[in-house]
Structure 1
């Protein structure tokens, strides 16, 4: 059975440490006492702690500044959401213009929120950021939402469960912006919703943005991918552009109200063609793209074996 549980919306880490020993020292001695598995694991944990050390300032001043930033983000987002909701109401007869305005809202609001949070950022592969494609991204932090709002091209729609309309203000703006919703009440309804979504994408020449993990990772490590984005690729023929987000899970951890000044890296990978894909290889395609993420994410964000 196809799992359509998806959430809207993919480098090397700034924090990844490598230990370089001397080539000559390593090659001139024979190590008769290799480290045990436990010792290796403890060493890796110690390196990860060192990588996190500079962002773990939990002093009163740091926490207070973080709370102020979050409050300013919330108030600013409510203001822009209210303004664009009025614009959407005026544009009710013009669905595509509402999509376009929804993207402009995302560009303005997302960039503004990232500026308020103040994290150092590096963006790579931006030449692939204006394709008509299915954009996918790993998801481990609320910051991911801000980045996706900012960085996806005009003419992009998200896909969410139909219940999003009940989210205060943001859910109503989502619907006004003419983004797509799916009915997950039963498999038949989900399949029909996906077909309609694919038809809307083709008819209006749109791009899609999806978090293929279907939920936010608790520790930043990549979760298994749902298959819905593969089915959408099969139905639309759109290429898939992976967006790799690194560092966001350290910058704003799940369940925390402390935003740390961790560097963030955004990397677009080249589009992956899907127009020659076949429906009998859905699992294979999902595993292949999951493997692309595993290859490009730092060790601290890869799945545990």
Structure 2
């Protein structure tokens, strides 16, 4: 079986059927199993946390246990895939793909441990060679993106990620991209190199266009980097709209609540005819698309 096929299998099919049924994954796509929304709602109500805002001692203790189990699980899978990456060190493309498989396996496991019911829509757009963008308001966003982005996708992170124990080294081994956000000229040059690598190796890219994590879930203004990358690569842009993650795991908190989550892939935005003199217009257009697809509680503050 080809690696890309194996990765798709790991992301969406038999390996995860038990996980999906047990914590309410709801795929809205003709080729995916659909779990009725009333089952997701029932699961939410019966979750051991006892409710979205339950801060009782028992709920907090269960949350801490789940976070510790997530941490241990991630350490284990990171160690295993770090060994795989070292074996594959001479083959950079294989390391990228193995990094994606690591994300698909680890992300699915962590979401199963956290037990949040998830509704996923638009998966027919999830295998494009594209620039994937996502709003960002919670650590859960990272887990979801690891799980759901297609094989052959690289991310862009600050250069300091290499100092994160195990995960940072795996990030570098997987050939993901790093930029120096403190040095504008260096960052621009890094983006140019990223665009070249994406085209040369036929890769996709995942990026958070807000540039940082929202503190309260409200959508922040978008930076222009993803548009510059689109202009240089001519990749379509596939927006991923995440809803509810800021309620499930709030910034600065160690309490993961059972809030239901939603992941929605929007149709690809073609960039073939985009021009450099309309960058601000494109940023606003994509941002407006998010505003229309987010609930009022996550729309920008005015």
**Aligning the two structures, in what range does the TM-score lie when normalised by the shorter sequence?**
0.7 to 0.9
Q: Identify the residue that residue 250 of structure 1 maps to in structure 2.
A: 247
How many angstroms apart in 2 are the aligned matches of 1:270 and 1:297?
15
> In 1, are the aligned partners of 2:134 and 2:241 still within 8 Å (CA)?
yes
Q: CA-atom RMSD, angstroms?
A: 1.2
How many angstroms apart in 2 are the aligned matches of 1:246 and 1:186?
32
Residue-by-residue CA offset, 1:71-112 (whole Å, 9 max, x unaligned): 000000000000000000000000000000000000000000
Structure 1 segments of 4+ aligned residues over 6 angstroms from their partners? none
Choose which of 100, 103, 106 in structure 2 pairs with 1:106: 103
Q: Identify the residue that residue 214 of structure 1 maps to in structure 2.
A: 211
Q: Identify the residue that residue 294 of structure 1 maps to in structure 2.
A: 291
How many angstroms apart in 1 are the aligned matches of 2:255 and 2:182?
36
The equivalences for 1:162-173 within 5 A come to 162-173=159-170
* Residue aligned with 2:283, SS: helix
Tell me how far 1:185 sits from its aligned partner: 4.3
> Larger relative CO (CA 8 A, sep 6+): 1 or 2?
1
* Residue aligned with 2:256, SS: coil
Choose which of 271, 274, 278 in structure 1 pairs with 2:275: 278
Give the count of matched residue pairs: 254
Choose which of 92, 99, 122 in structure 2 pairs with 1:125: 122
Choose which of 66, 82, 89 in structure 2 pairs with 1:69: 66
Residue-by-residue CA offset, 1:197-251 (whole Å, 9 max, x unaligned): 1000000000000011011111000001011011000000000000000010000
* Residue aligned with 2:178, SS: strand
Q: Identify the residue that residue 82 of structure 2 maps to in structure 1.
A: 85
Q: Identify the residue that residue 181 of structure 1 maps to in structure 2.
A: 178
How many angstroms apart in 1 are the aligned matches of 2:195 and 2:270?
17
How many angstroms apart in 2 are the aligned matches of 1:141 and 1:184?
21
Tell me how far 1:188 sits from its aligned partner: 2.2
Q: Identify the residue that residue 139 of structure 1 maps to in structure 2.
A: 136
> In 1, are the aligned partners of 2:51 and 2:257 still within 8 Å (CA)?
no
How many angstroms apart in 1 are the aligned matches of 2:59 and 2:176?
37
How many angstroms apart in 1 are the aligned matches of 2:57 and 2:160?
38
TM-score (normalizing by structure 2): 0.83
Q: Identify the residue that residue 18 of structure 1 maps to in structure 2.
A: none
Tell me how far 1:184 sits from its aligned partner: 3.3
How many angstroms apart in 2 are the aligned matches of 1:209 and 1:117?
23
Q: Identify the residue that residue 238 of structure 2 maps to in structure 1.
A: 241
- Which runs of no fewer than 5 residues in structure 1 stay unpaired? 1-13, 15-52
How many angstroms apart in 2 are the aligned matches of 1:209 and 1:152?
8
* Residue aligned with 2:185, SS: helix
Tell me how far 1:162 sits from its aligned partner: 1.7
Comparing 149-158 and 184-193, the one that deviates more: 184-193
TM-score (normalizing by structure 1): 0.82
